[in-house]
Amino acid sequence: MTSLPHDTAAEPDPLRALGLERLRRRTSMKWRTYPEDVLPLWVAEMDVPLAPPVVRAVTDALALGDTGYPAGTAYAEALAAFAARSWRWDGIAADRTAIVPDVMLGAVEMIRLVTGAGDPVIVNPPVYPPFFMFITHMDRRVVEAPLGADLRLDLGALEDAFRRATAGGGRAAYLLCSPHNPTGTVHTAAELTAVAELAERHGVRVVADEIHAPLTAPGTSFVPYLSLPAAARGLSLMSASKGWNLPGLKAALALAGPGAAADLARMPEEVGHGAGHVAVIAHTAALREATGWLDALRTGIQSNRRLLAGLLAEHLPAVRLHPGEATYLAWLDCRALGLGDDPAGVFLDRGRVALSAGLPFGTGGAGHARLNLATSPEILTEAVHRMAAALR
Ligand SMILES: Cc1ncc(COP(=O)(O)O)c(C=O)c1O
């Protein structure tokens, strides 16, 4: 029997606070897409109560009727302080930031700033499926530079993609996912420096989606793309949305390196009106006051990652688990199970567990599934038991 790990953080593990009955009362996508008999471990929502400072800030705003449009630089300043404390990076200048409605819409706006209709955007599959959808929806072309077999950036493939993308002399962007969803890979300073140098050499503009940055495993260091001297012309997106489970409170920050400030300045101010003012208040409170809560969460995620490894070894030993160092997502290589391209479909139909299907993640996604670890150890344990039972 796999034993449940114990909470060791100073604050209680938020992943252990809520039971299934209470979670099923939620009306968000995670809980309302599938029937009640399905355990949902798919979309990137967390089964946690909100951090108390966030609840206080939002409640105070509502009590005050402070529900107008966002203004000011408090979000950027809170992120700058968080970045200095967490990543020892003090390079966030509020005048090189802009509030955007969310990370994906921010990415779209930034790609629009540096490319034109029909231009290529490079991505590293397997990667977060909306990258493909948004790029094609905004009339750009996806160029794939797949991750290597070790699920890290393949600099050779990237250079090849940069070369192909710019062969006609046009503009190109690279949408980098850092840390990487779904693998949880944390790119090193050396890898990111090589990316920045390659991008400069080929005239490709880098837009780094760093939404998962707060969610590294304890002891793992995240390297902000714009912290690298070679990335001065880079653009980045950050948000408290994933780290503190705030996707229902829409807001994010677009950041420009010193050499990209003029690009960001061309973004229409109205883009920022799409963010919710109460959301900005919530994100600011999270970054400023809820770091202890985040640390307890990260410890809980790491503990769940270990629990999952043990459960799979015991009940589904043919499944290979990539040892991610960030995000609360686990990328499962199910090819040895012989379930075809869509193992998640089998786990759903026969096991009543909803994982994310691997195919929409692009090249490298077939035969894989993504599991959301941001739940209680009990639910995670039950999910793996159901997955194993589905194959008997
Ligand atoms: C890599 C990545 N980018 C963006 C998003 C979505 O962020 P937002 O809701 O702020 O657009 C997610 C959500 O899971 C994600 O994993």
Ligand 1 atom nearest to 177, measured from its CA: 1
Helix (H) or strand (E) holding 204: strand 204-209
Nearest atom, ligand 1, residue 329 CA:
16
Q: How many residues belong to the chain?
A: 392
Q: Which residues are CB-contacts of 261 (< 8 A; sequence separation ≥ 6)?
A: 95, 96
Q: Give, for ligand 1, the residue of 181, 186, 361, 373 to mutate: max count of ligand atoms closer than 8 Å to Cβ.
A: 181
Q: Verify whether ligand 1 is closer than 6 Å to residue 57 (CB atom).
A: no
374 lines ligand 1 (CB under 6 A): no
Distances 258 to 29, 76, 112, 116, 261 between C-alpha atoms, Å: 38, 16, 19, 22, 6
**389 Cα–ligand 1 center, Å:** 32
- How far apart CA 197 and CA 264 sit, in angstroms, is 21
pLDDT tens digits, 322-364: 999 999 999 999 999 999 999 999 999 999 999 999 999 999 9
User: Between vectors from CA 21 to CA 16 and to CA 27, what angle results, nearest 5°?
Assistant: 100
Distance 181 CA to ligand 1 centre (A): 9
Residue 11 near residue 289, CB atoms below 8 Å? no
Q: Which of 29, 102, 104 to mutate to test the pocket of ligand 1 (most atoms within 8 A of CB)?
A: 104
Whether 213 is in the pocket of ligand 1, judged by its Cβ within 6 Å, is no
* Both structure tokens of 339: 């379930």
Report pLDDT for 6: 43
Task: Tell me: pLDDT of 274 over 70.
Answer: yes
Q: Domain map of the chain by residue range?
A: 14-50+291-390, 55-289
Q: Is the pLDDT of residue 259 over 50?
A: yes
CA distances from 273 to 72, 111, 207, 270 (A): 12, 19, 21, 5
Is 128 close to ligand 1, i.e. is its CB under 6 Å away?
Answer: yes
Q: Given this model, what pLDDT does residue 8 score?
A: 46
Kindly state the DSSP code that residue 280 receives in the 8-state scheme.
H
Strands (E), the chain: 39-40, 97-100, 120-123, 141-144, 172-177, 204-209, 235-238, 252-256, 320-321, 329-333, 353-354, 356-357, 368-372
CA of 103 to the centre of ligand 1 (A): 6
Can you tell me whether residue 172 is helix, strand or coil? strand
pLDDT for residue 10: 80
For residue 392, report the distance from its CA to the centre of ligand 1, in Å. 35
Element (H, E) at 106: helix 103-114
Tens of pLDDT, residues 149-199: 999 999 999 999 999 999 989 999 999 999 999 999 999 999 999 999 999
Q: Which of 45, 123, 211, 237 to mutate to test the pocket of ligand 1 (most atoms within 8 A of CB)?
A: 211
Distance CA 257, CA 234 (A): 5
Ligand 1 lined by 184 (C-beta under 6 Å): no
Task: Say if ligand 1 is within 6 A of residue 210 CB.
Answer: no
For 202-255, the pLDDT digits (tens) are: 999 999 999 999 999 999 999 999 999 999 999 999 999 999 999 999 999 999
- The CATH classification number of 14-50+291-390 equals 3.90.1150.10
Ligand 1 centre distance from Cα of residue 239 (Å): 9
User: With a 6 A CB cut-off, is 103 part of the ligand 1 pocket?
Assistant: yes
| Average pLDDT of the chain, as a whole number | 96
State the pLDDT at residue 97: 98
Cβ–ligand 1 contact at 284 (below 6 Å): no
Query: Is 55-289 assigned to CATH 3.40.640.10?
Result: yes
- pLDDT at site 5: 44
State the distance from the centre of ligand 1 to the C-alpha of 95, rounded, in angstroms.
Answer: 24
- Cα–Cα distances in Å, from 226 out to 6, 169, 219? 37, 26, 21
CA–centroid distance, 48 to ligand 1, in Å, is 18
pLDDT digits (tens, 9 = 90+) for 9-41: 489 999 999 999 999 999 999 999 999 999 999
Quick check: 44 pLDDT over 80?
Answer: yes
Q: Does ligand 1 have an atom closer than 6 angstroms to the CB of 101? A: no
Q: Give the pLDDT score at 248.
A: 98
From the CB of 131, is ligand 1 less than 6 Å away?
Answer: no
Say yes or no: CB of residue 177 within 6 Å of ligand 1.
Answer: yes
Q: Contact, 14 vs 300, CB < 8 A?
A: yes
Residue 253 pairs in a beta bridge with 99, 238
- Side-chain half-sphere of 40: how many Cα atoms within 13 Å? 19
**pLDDT on residue 124:** 98
Beta strands in 16-69 (DSSP E): 39-40
Cα of 133 to ligand 1 centre, how many Å? 13
pLDDT in tens, 45-88: 999 999 999 999 999 999 999 999 999 999 999 999 999 999 99
